Structure 1
Amino acid sequence: MPPPIPILLLKTKSTPEDGYADFFSARGYTPTFVPVLEHRVHEPNLGKVRALLAARAFTDVTRNIPIRGSERRKFGGLIFTSQRAVEAFAGMLEAEEGKGEDEEISIPLYTVGPATARSLGALSTNYLPQTSIHGAETGNGENLAYYILDHYNAVYPDIFTRPPILFLVGEQRRDIIPKLLMESEETPPEKRIVVEEMVVYETGVKEGFESVFGEVVSSVGTGDGDGEAGKEKKKPIWVVVFSPTGCEAMLRVLGLGPFTATASSERDVFVATIGPTTRDHLRQHFGFEPHVCAAKPSPEGVGAAIEEFMAQRG
């Protein structure tokens, strides 16, 4: 049996289980997690969300429950496309538990993938039992936007009473969902939906990531002193990138893209991206073409792209 291929996953390992660890361990890879992102909640904006909750601004307009206080805008739905946004919102709800909220939120929650949907499911069970979760199988922002156009228009068919949707985001995000819902020529005016974005978390490169990543790259798959170290050093490495954040440090360590002059390893290193956002960032900012881009942002999607590439390479 051939030795396992190292695969470096530039993310924090999920607990208690991680789908990427399970998937790749079962398919002849040795997964290693290297956290690259550091997330900080945006307290001022979470305070605004808290005020909206207190003003019943998330009440389903079809229930005709009046808004109180100074807030005059209702939202008929919430959009989440990252687990970090769910975590920030859930942390706020947890802090508010038992403080006298007297109106249940009963609006649809939209999400882009199964992982975020699972996080929303736990949130819904604990805090928002009247909400419903939609879009888990859409897979990307574009598909989710089209799904929302159909579903939300069915919930609120009257353009004159259709409330806006609140999109809880990080400061780094694509604008494809707001554009398709509000501005796209493909979207008939009578189906357009107003989207208000609110940043609830900020993301930066984790302190010390570059040095930690460099140490991991130098150490993985280099043998265990049994005489096979020379062969192991030539074993290829796969690096899976989940976000534009940290891409420059990653390329610098690997000696790829604009940093090829610094390359010191003789082993093959291949880069896979979780989706088109990170792929396009590498192209546009560093002139680097990743070896594969997953068609779906999932362990199966990444695995299929890697296996196809390796099969073609022979």
Structure 2
Amino acid sequence: MRIPILLLKTRSSPNDGYDEFFNANNYTPTFVPVLEHRFNDKNLVHVRSLFATGAFNASDNTNSISNPKTPSPKYGGMIFTSQRAVEGFANMISQHGLPPPSQDIPLYTVGPATARTLTTLRNAHLPSSTIHGADTGTGEKLAHLMLQHYNTLYTEEKENPTLLFLVGEQRRDIIPKTLMDPNLPHNMRIPVDELVVYETGEMGSFEGDFRRVVELAEGKGEGVTWVVVFSPSGCEAMLRVLELGPYAKDDGDGNGNVFVATIGPTTRDHLRGLGFEPHVCAEKPSPEGVGEGIKRFMEQRALN
């Protein structure tokens, strides 16, 4: 019997790695969007103008990576740390097209899910560009990878070309702070321009939507239901619906057949702060990482 798994996120387009993975592993995934994303069309069109005006091109239209003595471009690469940023970029391209740069540019990303979405876009519009960081898992690890990799591309430059970082309005600053650390040698620092391409807010309908989905899942999958949490947003509403943590009834700890997994330590720690210890914290923020954590938990539970 297939086990219901409720994914507290918007289904990624055109394909979603979590949907594919859990469907293939005897689960019935259901997406429950927590956040509302609104793309910043003005800033996304500005990204296109950077390509159109040659900001990613070396000044004499030759590849400055393969020829370090060639004057470098203003922007030497791009950073994506969320699927929403990739989707916003892809939507802009589908509406307005994308003038290809004259040189290959590195695309940096964190986590395999975002890398998969970015790969689809790269293959269609930037086929010569390379993707780095899919297995880093955190912004801090990605930043250190960039310091190692990017600094090998412009070894003759006094200052590295800037990286364009497409972000949401809510984001951590670990990547810019690490890359532009004043303690680094000047020629090893990597300038970063952050450009907000989407805004995020919690959906007002989330709690009611989640309650309906939980009720539909009851009685399926031998009574076991998994909930996967991807961000601190919506955590309190989730606990209320499931009667867990501070919302547990006096005579128990909520529904003993509902288990909660988090995509990583940030969300786990947020839930701990609310008074609830999630059953699983994925070691890697990926479908496989979540799946492996759930598998180990269920195997251990069967032994007890």
User: Is the contact between residue 159 and residue 191 of structure 1 (CA under 8 Å) also seen in structure 2?
Assistant: no
Partners of 2:255 and 2:263 lie apart in 1 by 26
Distance 2:120 2:20 in 1: 22
Q: Would the alpha carbon gap of residues 159 and 17 (structure 1) be closer, same or farther in structure 2, given more than 3 Å must change?
A: closer
Check whether the contact 1:169–1:197 (CA below 8 A) recurs between aligned residues. yes
Return the match for 1:35 from 25, 33, 36.
Answer: 33
> Shift of the alpha carbon at 1:215?
1.1
CA offsets 1:182-209 (integer angstroms, 9 cap, x no match): 2286x55542212221111112223422
1:81 and 2:81 matched? yes
1:129 to 127, 130, 154: 127
Alpha-carbon distance in 1 for matches of 2:23, 2:101: 46
Per the TM alignment, residue 300 of structure 1 is displaced from its structure 2 partner at its CA by: 1.3
Could you say which residue in structure 2 is the equivalent of 1:9?
Answer: 7
Residue among 18, 21, 29 paired with 1:20: 18
Deviations 1:8-27 (A, max 9, x none): 11123346654333433444
Aligned residue for 1:155? Answer: 153
Is residue 219 of structure 2 the alignment partner of residue 209 of structure 1? no
Q: 1:142 to 1:216 in 2, by over 3 A?
A: same
Verify: 1:112 aligned to 2:110, yes or no: yes
Structure 1 position 277, deviation (Å) = 2.6
In the alignment, the residues of structure 2 paired with residue 132 and residue 4 of structure 1 have an alpha-carbon distance, to the nearest angstrom, of: 38
CA RMSD after TM alignment: 3.0
- Contact 2:56 2:101 (8 Å CA) reproduced: no
Identical aligned residues as a percent:
58
Against the structure 1 CA distance between its residues 305 and 15, is the aligned structure 2 distance closer, same or farther, given a 3 Å change threshold? same
TM-score (norm 2): 0.83
User: Within 5 A, what are the aligned runs for 1:53-202?
Assistant: 53-60=51-58, 62=64, 64=70, 74-97=74-97, 101=99, 103-104=101-102, 106-158=104-156, 160-183=158-181, 190-202=187-199
Per the TM alignment, residue 110 of structure 1 is displaced from its structure 2 partner at its CA by 0.9
**Change beyond 3 A, Cα 1:266–1:279:** closer
SS at match of 1:76: strand
TM-score by length of 1: 0.80
Report the Cα distance in structure 2 between the residues aligned to 1:308 and 1:265, rounded to whole angstroms: 22
**Alpha carbons of 1:265 and 1:103: their partners in 2 closer, same or farther (altered >3 Å)?**
closer
What CA distance in whole angstroms lies between the structure 2 residues aligned with 1:154 and 1:6?
47
2:215 maps to a residue whose letter is S
| 1:251-290 per-position Cα deviation (integer Å, ceiling 9, x unaligned) | 2211223333599954432211111232233334x24332
Instruction: Report the number of matched residues.
Output: 293
1:295 aligns with one of 283, 288, 296:
283
Unaligned runs of 5+ in 2: none
How far apart in 1 are the matches of 2:85 and 2:53?
Answer: 21
SS in 1 for 2:104: coil
**For residues 127 and 65 of structure 1, do their structure 2 counterparts lie closer, same or farther at Cα, with a shift above 3 Å needed?**
farther
List runs of 5+ in structure 1 lacking aligned partners: 68-73, 224-230
Aligned position for 2:215 = 218
1:82 CA displacement = 1.4
Tell me how far apart the structure 2 counterparts of residues 102 and 4 of structure 1 sit (CA, whole Å). Answer: 45
Q: CA deviation at 1:29?
A: 3.3
Supply the distance in 2 between the matched residues of 1:12 and 1:113 (Cα, whole angstroms). 17
Question: Which residue in the other structure is 2:236 paired with?
Answer: 248
